[in-house]
Structure 1
Amino acid sequence: MTRADSVFSDLRHRIVEGQIPINSKLSEPELAKYYQISRTTLRDALSRVENCGLLQYKANIGYSVVTLSKEKLMGIFQVRESLESLACRLATAQLNLTDIKQLKMQLQKKHIENAQPIARAKHSVIDDYFYLHYQVVKASQNALLVKLLNEQQFYLIKLYMTTFRPGYTRSSTDYQEYLTILQAMENRDSELAELLMRRHISASCQYIQSAMP
């Protein structure tokens, strides 16, 4: 891992977790001093964080953490609803039964861990929210979909969730919806799997929106 990789990962984490507040302007000299890196290396890392949707750049002003809005959230989820449901339909034809059963086992394991306070403290429930989505998109085996719905774009959604829904309470509902989606995939019912994923993403959007001013 290069120094730019390390700074990129740390900045992304600090923004998503609220350690660097939304709308705040970043000082490149202060960040370069904090990370003990050159401005060139810092700008490489900042550019990559911008590509995740977490930063915005304006000439003569510099980088600042993005502004969050209901309109922007709706745009993100409209794209997700269309493309991830398509990925789910494609993945239904690509995954074998063993792979689907393995996904079920992993989801069950995470659900049990979430019920244990000690285990819960070691990982993020919000990260678990994205687990099935990562797997389904990759399993679609459609290179363009994987590129459009790569792991990085989920960090902006995670920022919305940690900002407006820090005490995530939908995990049990997510779990049941995921199992229903996987059951449809196991039954090779691609149309139902696509519909269920679409409904799940729509419900998730409404859940976040309900907490926004």
Structure 2
Amino acid sequence: MADLLDQKVQAQSLVDVVAERLEAAIISGTLEPGSRLSEQALAASLGVSRGPLREAIRRLEGRKLLERTPNIGVRVAALSLRDLKEILEVREALEGMACALAAQNMSDEDIAALEGLIEAHGEQEAVREGKGYYQESKDFDFHFRIVTGAGNQRLEQMLLGDLYYLLRVYRYKSSTKPGRAKEALVEHQNIVAAIRNRDAGAAEGAMRVHLRNARRYVEEQLVEEGEAVVDPAPRKTGRVGSLR
């Protein structure tokens, strides 16, 4: 994923493409939580002018992936270890409930599509090699599909709101720990099997196990790599974002 920001953007919906490229770089860790961005370096890396780049940055600020601080500039959003732990504990309960509802409410066609999505994920080279499990957002995201399949708008608002994009950063990070990508794929398959069987209890239990494992992996990894943010205030030092 490291070369995502070295590829020149082709003329289409320029802001969309730049925003997608930046989002993928943040999710994959090419741009790390807490790192500051240099508009000049980014514009040169992507081969675009400052205008579309700034609009893309504003879009990612709206998704809570980037934060702008007076006298400091724009940086990649970061969660403290405590915040992350508390958010993931709540997510386990809510998404477990969503999975139970999905087992009751998803149509057979939606379940078949979910199975197809997991099959496609299993064909990713990075997953096969155990290097990571990257999912694009929304309809290409296993968890997004389950939450929307639950048929509960309140749950959607809570799970797919402000923190949806930022949590994808930490979800991907947990998948890069050796052995986790393949393990996560098997857990996804177990969840889909329970949904296919219309077993709400088993579906909720499988989702809770999956999210508990993911939380443990990401917490361990952040501590091991020294990336746990104790004080979420902007860092005064750190990598200044050229995306190479």
- Measured against the shorter chain, the TM-score band is 0.7 to 0.9
Q: Aligned letter for 1:103?
A: L
Aligned pair partner of 1:192 in 179, 195, 202: 202
Which residue in 2 is equivalent to 1:37? 49
TM-score where L is the length of structure 1: 0.75
Deviations 1:20-52 (A, max 9, x none): 34322223455456654345x444322221233
Which residue in 2 is equivalent to 1:182? 192
User: What is the aligned-residue RMSD (CA, Å)?
Assistant: 3.4
CA gap 1:191/1:165 in 2 versus in 1, 3 angstroms: closer
Q: CA deviation at 1:173?
A: 2.4
Residue 27 in structure 1 maps to residue 35 in structure 2: no
Aligned pair partner of 1:57 in 68, 74, 78: 68
CA distance in 2, matches of 1:33, 1:107: 36
Q: Structure 2 matches for 1:141-160, cutoff 5 A?
A: 141-150=151-160, 153-160=163-170
CA distance in 2, matches of 1:18, 1:166: 10
Aligned pair partner of 2:22 in 11, 35, 59: 11
Q: CA deviation at 1:90?
A: 1.7
TM-score where L is the length of structure 2: 0.67
Q: CA deviation at 1:8?
A: 1.4
Contact kept, 8 Å, 1:177 with 1:200, in 2: the verdict is: yes
Contact kept, 8 Å, 2:132 with 2:181, in 1: the verdict is: no
Deviations 1:117-162 (A, max 9, x none): 59958x962328x843122112123334334433985543343355
Q: CA deviation at 1:201?
A: 0.7
In structure 2, the gaps of 5 or more residues are 1-11, 224-244
Q: Percent identity?
A: 30
Which residue in 2 is equivalent to 1:127? 135
Relative to its length, the structure with more helix (as a share) is 1
Where 1:126 maps in the other structure, the secondary structure is coil
Contact kept, 8 Å, 2:99 with 2:200, in 1: the verdict is: yes
Counting matched residue pairs gives 207
CA distance in 1, matches of 2:133, 2:173: 14
Q: Aligned letter for 1:176?
A: V
